Amino acid sequence: MRPLGLLATVLSGALLISACGGTTRENSTGNGGPTGSATTANPQAPLRTGLKITYLPKQVNNPYFTVVRGGAENAGKELQAEVKTTGPSDASAASQVTYINTAAQQRQDALVLAANDPNAVAPALKTARAQGMKVVTLDSDVAADARDVFVNQVNSTDIAVKQIELLAEAIGGEGEFAILSATANATNQNTWIEIMKQELVKPRYTKLKLVETAYGNDDDQTSFQKTQALLAAHPNLKGIISPTTVGIAAAARYLSSSAYQGKVALTGLGTPNQLRAFVKNGTVKSFALWEPAKLGYLATQAAAALASGRVTGSQGQKFAAGSLGEYTIGQSGEIVLGPPTVFTTDNVDRFDF
């Protein structure tokens, strides 16, 4: 191939995309802040039907987000909205951006997403919002100016306090305990642990002693070994709190296969399906978690309220969230699902997630 000919073909190839692109992209410069059509909420506005809502989980085929999806789809049915799920197969920071752009491109009315990175998705979300799409985050928030509302599964204090309460109950209010967390720099876990430590200062918990915080890196095998190590290092250990679904399942597996079963209490955050057997064999007396299906349901209801102009995301606005009742938007657009659900042998069979 002759150099000149080659050059021409290389150039044309490289410019193919942009050449097809034509002139200036609309809205290319207008990706400032929120520019929703309605700047004031009209609580009386009729709830729109036929809304197109995209649900974008951190990654598809993640069991947790599949349960969230079920809730979102239920809300969609009630609202006569079209809810579809799309997303990347890996939970990397940037992989969601393509799907956000696609949702904007498909003129979806609202996007419900759990962000892999608070910042990487922000520019795409801002552009999409500038085009009129409402953005609701759940589970993991993004920069506040890149979404309309954030549906938080639980208040950090509630979840931390509840776990200490469950532990105290399980070990009779006194003794040594350890925490088996996820990674050493997991933001939510560390927040909870910090609140737990503050809680321990209270008079009723003076006989509880936190002896070690171990990190299982949210890896089943590592968490299993760390449990083993905790029990070896602290012969007087009475209980373990594992504020991570991976950690608590691994710890339960170790305990139930060891002489410590029933002697060392285990509680924390887990799912009923993971822990059902361990609740029934006495390894775990009680554990807590929010209900992911309710999370998806509430976020979808919020998305519909936003797209219908009933709320704009400002603090103090109220909206009806179907079977969950009325919710009020809190500071910086945050909506809290509610207190965590506690699972025991009495109710564990009623849940499937």
Q: Which residues bind other proteins (CB under 8 A)?
A: 1, 3, 6-7, 9-11, 13-18, 20-26, 28-29, 31, 60-61, 84, 86-90, 92-94, 97-99, 101-102, 104-106, 117-124, 127, 143, 183, 185
Q: Tell the smallest beta-carbon distance from residue 290 to other proteins (Å).
A: 24
Q: Tell the smallest beta-carbon distance from residue 9 to other proteins (Å).
A: 5
The DSSP line for 207-221 is TEEEEEEEE-TT-HH
Q: Tell the smallest beta-carbon distance from residue 52 to other proteins (Å).
A: 12
Place of tokens 């968490």: 223
Q: How far is it, in rounded angstroms, from Cα 43 to Cα 309?
A: 8
8 Å CB contact between 295 and 280: no
The CB-based long-range contact list for 253-258 (8 Å cut-off, 24+ gap) reads 253/224, 253/278, 254/224, 254/227, 254/228, 255/227, 255/283, 256/281, 256/283, 258/231
Nearer to other proteins, 34 or 87 (CB): 87
Nearer to other proteins, 82 or 165 (CB): 82
Nearer to other proteins, 128 or 160 (CB): 128
Nearer to other proteins, 2 or 350 (CB): 2
8 Å CB contact between 158 and 340: yes
Q: Tell the smallest beta-carbon distance from residue 311 to other proteins (Å).
A: 28
Place of tokens 């936190």: 210
Q: Tell the smallest beta-carbon distance from residue 289 to other proteins (Å).
A: 24
Nearer to other proteins, 22 or 235 (CB): 22
Q: Tell the smallest beta-carbon distance from residue 21 to other proteins (Å).
A: 3
Nearer to other proteins, 97 or 149 (CB): 97
E-assigned strand segments in the chain: 52-56, 82-85, 110-113, 134-138, 149-152, 175-181, 208-215, 237-242, 265-268, 286-289, 318-320, 326-328, 334-336, 341-344
